[in-house]
Amino acid sequence: MNDSNPTIEESETSTTINASPEPVNSSNSKKVSDLKDFSVPDPENTRGLSTEKISHSYGVAKDGKPNSISVNFQKMFDDKGWDAVCLDNKSKEKVLYLTFDCGYENGNTEKILDVLKEKKVPAAFFCTLYEVKQNKDLIKRMIDDGHIVGNHSNTHPSFAEISRTQMAEEIKAMDDYLRSEFDYSAPFFRYPKGEYNESSMDLVNSLGFKCVFWSCSYADWDTNNQKGKQYAFDTVTSRLHPGAIILLHSVSSDNASALGDIIDLARKNGYEFKSLNDLP
């Protein structure tokens, strides 16, 4: 199967992309290496679902409370019946979900994995296909260590600017590779750039993926503008709140340096780190 050029069969009501994913929980013992077919419902969007771009925003949380922006986005997801999450607003406990975006590798991911193993903390790594192909040993370690390898697309396009069939191809290329190379699939997707629309949410959910956003983050992705361990520690810990989905970038040396202390302080303040598989 060519990752970038899957075979497409079209009809008036659906587009079938051969050897497509049927996501399963990574904890499932079922073998997932066999690629499966799926149909893209309404490939031409004849229902007229909105294609207006929505850019995810989370707001800066403080005083142990999520920003109202995060609260309102989660309310929108729930009200519309979308399988999407930026904030766990259902758990009664002080829970945190640690996630990383991985577009490429620059030597910090292994350090992050070492800290997570030492601290016994689960995490989700949302990877592009480029990252997975270039760093198979790291991806295998993520899986072997019990972390989630989430789908962050093939080429990292804005899902508010491509067709429904292209969206499916982007997700499929990544999922196919995980299945064929690692006998692995997980039903979690993160939109590149946090950009989406009503049509893309409908499409991604129809393929069996939960869309994972975030309610706690900071500008950590610029490798030429790292501000040091203390800055990362102070910024992240000041924004923690119950139910937070934390987004960090694995390319950040500040994150790799501060992660252990962030985990320790969070636990000292009564927080528990959980896997996305534990979302209520």
Assess whether 183 carries a catalytic annotation: no
Residue corresponding to tokens 């969070």: 266
249 assigned to active site: yes
What is the SS3 string spanning the chain?
CCCCCCCEEECCCEEEEEEECCCCCCCCCCCCCCCEEEEEECCCCCCCCCCCCEECCCCCCECCECCHHHHHHHHHHHHHCCCEECECCCCCCCEEEEEEEECCCCCCHHHHHHHHHHHCCCEEEEECHHHHHHCHHHHHHHHHCCCEEEECCCCCCCCCCCCHHHHHHHHHHHHHHHHHHHCCCCCEECCHHHEECHHHHHHHHHCCCEEECCCECCCCCCCCCCCCHHHHHHHHHHCCCCCEEEEEECCCHHHHHHHHHHHHHHHHCCCEEECHHHCC
Amino acid (1-letter code) at residue 219: A
Which residue among the candidates 42, 88, 101, 175 is catalytic per the annotation? 101
Which is the catalytic residue, given 56, 152, 241, 249? 249
**Cα–Cα distance between 35 and 173 in angstroms, integer?**
11
Please enumerate in sequence order all residues whose Cβ is within 8 A of that of 68, keeping only pairs 6 or more positions apart, or say none: 59
Q: Give catalytic residue positions.
A: 101, 249
